[in-house]
Structure formats: structure tokens, C-alpha cells
Amino acid sequence: MKYALVTGASSGIGWHFAELLAKKSYSIVAVSNQSEKLADLKNKLEQDGNIKVETINIDLAQENSALQVFDYCSGRNLEIEVLINDAGIFFFGEAARVDPSRMKSMITLHILTPTLLCRLFGEQMIKRQKGFILNISSISAVMPYPGISIYGPTKAYLRHFTRALRTEMKLYGINVTCLIPGATDTGLYDAAKFKPSKLIKLGIMKKPEVVARRGLRALFKNKAVCIPGLLNKLVVILLPLIPNFIISTINRKTNVVRKNI
């Protein structure tokens, strides 16, 4: 039985990755720290199709979490053919003011854990000469903005790591793709403030199922990068061209607004 491992599978894009992969007859290893939602996903997918769902309730922001996930799969002889590194967290805050524990959690979740999962499961894929790895970066990786000075650089690491990993794994017939989504209608955003329905109509925000579908299509077609949406493709090209003084001006004005709230 072939398995796909999806981190962050209990909600958002990760949930839709799991659904789509199940429709492709993959059994699922769903990893998240939301036990009730994992149970909901397991019940839904096993009722809908002739597949199995293994759930791992774990905080992937812990340093040893990747090894625990790997040991779980190895101990049950689960052959992971597809690895989706989707788990992520998001918050605004200046680097010198962010709680150190939150900073460490984001760095571990976005950098250490997915890197180690690629290392551990990648070695098995090399032995089988078959496998698929999809790492989820972010459009903020193109130009980290003040206020997301931890989030953006961690996603930039994922973008560059995935590119290098793709070159290494190509020798063994393994597909490696980097998904770079823009704003997506998930729990990372406050719906009351951002009004997702209007942003989706304007093409500024994407539905998570759309992002997941395009990401998997790119992975199985062995594309190096997937950037869902024409607007996001333009942003990736144009954003790095913005002069730093403009960014500094915007940051200064938004700081004044925040202090007056």
C-alpha cells in the first residue's frame, strides 16, 4: 500500500492535499497538533474511499518531531511515496519584540522539521528510485517585509532548499517541487478583517483547494516551481524591484497607525 504523508493536514491547504491524494488512491499519514480535526479527516477520507488514514498528533515545532514521525512510519512499515511539507504558522511582529519561544517555534516548524523530513524520507525514496516531495514556501519569500521578518526568511529558506534538493534528487528519479502561494483563504488570516470572499473575487486571495490542486499537478508533472495565479506570478517578479526607501516609508506610516490604535 502506498502512502502520502501530509503535515498540517488537519486544516487549510493541508486538508485539501490529503483529500486530493486520497482520490489518487494514496493512503494518508496525516500529521498535525489538532487531534479532533485529524479524527474528522480520518473519518471522512476512509468513508469516501478505499484507503487507510494514519494520524499522528504531534507538535512539529518541537526539535525532535521529524524523527518521531519517521520512527512512527518505519515502525509500521508505511512506505511514504509522497511527502508534503505544508505545516506552518504565521504572526506579525518586529524581530526584536517577538517572544523568543514563538520565534523558535516558527524557525523549527518552517526550517528544521521539513528539512529533516526530506532527509529521512528522501533516503528511502532514493533506495526505491521513486518519490515525490512538495515543500510549501510563500510569496513573502521573495521579499521579506517588516513585521514578518521571521516568517518571510524562513519561507525563503524553504524555497532555496527545495531548489537545491530538486537538483540532488533528480539523479534518482525523484520529483521535488516548491509551491509558492500568495494569500490563501485559510485559518492564518482573520476573516473579519480581510473579507476573503471579496479578495477571492478580485483574484487577490485563492481558495485552499485551488492552491492544493495546482501544487499537486505541478508535483506530478515534475515542475520545479508552482506559483498559483497570474497576479502572484507578477508579484514574484515585481516585488523585489521595489526600492527599500518605499518599504521603509510604508513601515514608518504603519507603525504610527499601530501606535495610535
Residues noted as catalytic: 151
Residue 260, classed as helix, strand or coil, is helix
93 vs 34: CA distance, rounded Å: 25
As to burial, measured by CB atoms within 10 angstroms (0-12 exposed, 13-18 middle, 19+ buried), residue 121 is buried
Cα 146 to its chain centre, rounded Å, is 21
Contacts of 255 (CB under 8 A, 6+ apart): none
For residue 80, the one-letter residue type is I
Please name every residue paired with 244 in a beta bridge, in sequence order, or none if there are none: none
86 vs 135: CA distance, rounded Å: 7
Contacts of 199 (CB under 8 A, 6+ apart): 183, 185, 205
**CA dist 189 → 20, 91, 92, 173 (Å):** 23, 9, 11, 37
Contact 138, 151 (CB under 8 A): yes
The closest alpha carbon to 28, from 59, 61, 63, 3, belongs to 3
126 vs 124: CA distance, rounded Å: 5
